[in-house]
Chain A
Amino acid sequence: MIISVASGKGGTGKTTVAVNLALSLKNIQFIDCDVEEPNAHIFLKPRIAGEKKANIPVPEVDEAKCTYCGKCREVCAYHAIAVLPGSDGKKGSVLIFPHLCHGCGACSLLCPQGAIKEVNKEIGAIEIGEKGNMQFIHGRLNIGEAMSPPLIRQVKEYINSTRIVIIDAPPGTSCPVITAVKESDFCMLVTEPTPFGLNDLILAVEVLRKLQIPFGVVINRSDIGDGKVEDYCANEHIPVLMKIPFSREIAVSYSEGVPIVEKDASYQDKFINLYLNICGIKNEANSRH
């Protein structure tokens, strides 16, 4: 089963929920897909066994074959190629902007001269490790790199669905989140009971409904704020899977990179219940189909 943990708003406790759930269960594969700001390793402190560079293919032009016809510029949907035709006996030139390239391969495949080959451009790295018998994988986007989805896709290639896979997703509602949560069997949305939390929860719910992924809500710092998140969930028939009240002690141990279950063992049962809750909802949904 693949369980992803997402939220519209950042800083609501995605990583806290993902990490503590992972530490409370067995046979876990933990995948941190927040490649812009991966944090789960701070809490899990895995032993990293290997690193693999993550690349995307970008075009390289063989100027000896190129006739500066402009076909590549024409087919590139991302404006990542500019072609300056030659004139007065002077050679033309082709400019490539790798930061705009999505690596679709259109230019190289459609070049009439076969003058474009693809070369690797590094966009980040994937680290693979373990914590006890938990498998741990995360991606790390290089600084200055704009596009995280290709790296997220490469991280997700490591999914081993014979385990319970927990995916820590990035915040927001756009392409990085979609890429991270797609193909999940269940998604937990972590929120806080404030107007910001509610506003962004509603957006995240719309995303999951569009993707047709079953989901439920975890309310973090549940006693600070107001009751509108719970009212919303009740009206929309969204299950509230767990509530974590604010505690200064939890906040302080979070700040030091200590998971809740290591500070307060009673939370382990609560996270096991969270998992059972999810299984219950999944089973109910399956039996309806």
Chain B
Amino acid sequence: MKQIAVISGKGGTGKTVVTGSFAALAKNKVMVDCDVDAADLHLLLHPEVKERHEFRSGQTAVIDKKLCKKCGKCASVCRFGAIKSDYTIERFSCEGCALCSHICPRGAIRMEENVAGEWFVSDTQYGPFVHAKLGIAEENSGKLVAKIRQIAKELAQKQNLEYVIIDGPPGIGCPVIASLSGVDCALVVTEPTLSGLHDAKRVMEVVTYFNIPIKLVVNKYDLNPLMTGKIEEFCRSLNVPVIGKIAFDKTVVKALVEGTTVIEYAECAASNEVKKIWEDLQ
């Protein structure tokens, strides 16, 4: 079994379009959407949800108004500014450390477990799909990513699937690190812009930090061929293979609007290039 994570650093470079195309091309795989706080892959795969599970993680402090004497001890130790002047909890600031509940002389603060989201195992016309929805304004996205990756891996082992294909989140922080841990290959999708290069460099440093092999794709490469050249040059200096250059093609947006992958929508320059990229990844 091989696990491939598609990441980018910068958002909106085309991760999900590329991953969605792999769903149409790869056989014997499970798809995973690890961009749990702004998941989009389901819009291409049209899952039929088979299993739905609550994701419980973290806790939030609750002050019992009847017991509280407003002594201020809790507010004086809270480093997250989560205790408001009326001795209620600012839910979005509380990080669930529970220090207030330990320190309160009257035992007036209890911790409640958060339902931080949901995760799903689904069927799609492309095979099994594991995805999630982080609750609005919730935290612990990294843990939710780790959870659905574990489920996908178990599913792949049980069904003898060849690939786990992961649509990763943007950035370089906790959900990205959770998406990368233990994968066999990270495919970085970037665009020929200064921001794209800057962000790809940072995310590639993260991938290297975890000792994971990298391959790179430049999306919309013809929008700035000079910048594409700079990205290729940079990759050469790191011995990172550039395995594809996808042309800017309005067909891609049209396929998206129709809710389908570019592979199925039309034979075009972009779909042909993505086929080549998938062949290389195999």
Question: Interface of A with B (CB < 8 Å)?
Answer: 8-12, 15, 36-37, 39, 42, 75, 77-78, 102-106, 109-110, 141, 143-148, 170-178, 182, 192, 194-196, 199-200, 203, 206-207, 210-211, 224-226, 248, 251-252, 254-257
Contact = CB atoms under 8 A, between A and B. Distances in A.
Contacts of A8: 37-38
Contact of A143 (B80, B102, B169, B172): B172
A199 B170 contact: no
Given A104-B99, A105-B77, A171-B38, 9 more contacts: A10-B38, A42-B195, A75-B99, A175-B138, A196-B16, A210-B137, A252-B223, A255-B192, A255-B227
Given A39-B199, A172-B37, A252-B224, A9 B173 contact: no
A147 B195 CA distance: 22
19 contacts: A9-B38, A36-B173, A75-B102, A110-B99, A143-B172, A143-B202, A143-B205, A147-B173, A171-B171, A177-B37, A178-B92, A195-B43, A195-B259, A200-B40, A211-B92, A251-B223, A252-B224, A256-B193, A256-B194
B79 A194 contact: no
Interface in B157-193: 169-177, 191-193
B241 interface: no
A207 B227 CA distance: 36
B92 to A, nearest CB: 5
A224 B250 contact: yes
Contacts of B196: 255
Interface residues of B, number: 63
A200 B136 CA distance: 11
Interface of B: 8-13, 16, 37-40, 43, 59, 77, 79-80, 92-93, 95-99, 102-103, 134, 136-139, 141-142, 169-177, 191-196, 198-199, 202-203, 205-206, 209-210, 223-224, 227, 250, 253, 256-257, 259
Contact of B137 (A42, A103, A194, A211): A211
B37 A174 contact: yes
A173 B99 contact: no
The 5 closest A-B pairs by CB, nearest first: A10-B11, A11-B12, A104-B97, A255-B193, A36-B171
B57 to A, nearest CB: 11
A206 B173 contact: no
A85 B80 CA distance: 32
A211 B192 CA distance: 36
Contact of B96 (A10, A77, A148): A77
Interface of A (DSSP majority class): loop
Contacts of A148: 171, 173-174
Contacts of A192: 12
A176 B173 contact: yes
Contact of B97 (A78, A211, A248, A256): A78
Contact of A170 (B40, B171, B192, B203): B171
Given A171-B170, A176-B173, A9 B11 contact: yes
B209 A144 contact: yes
Nearest to A224: B253
A162 to B, nearest CB: 22
A207 B224 CA distance: 35
B172 A141 contact: yes
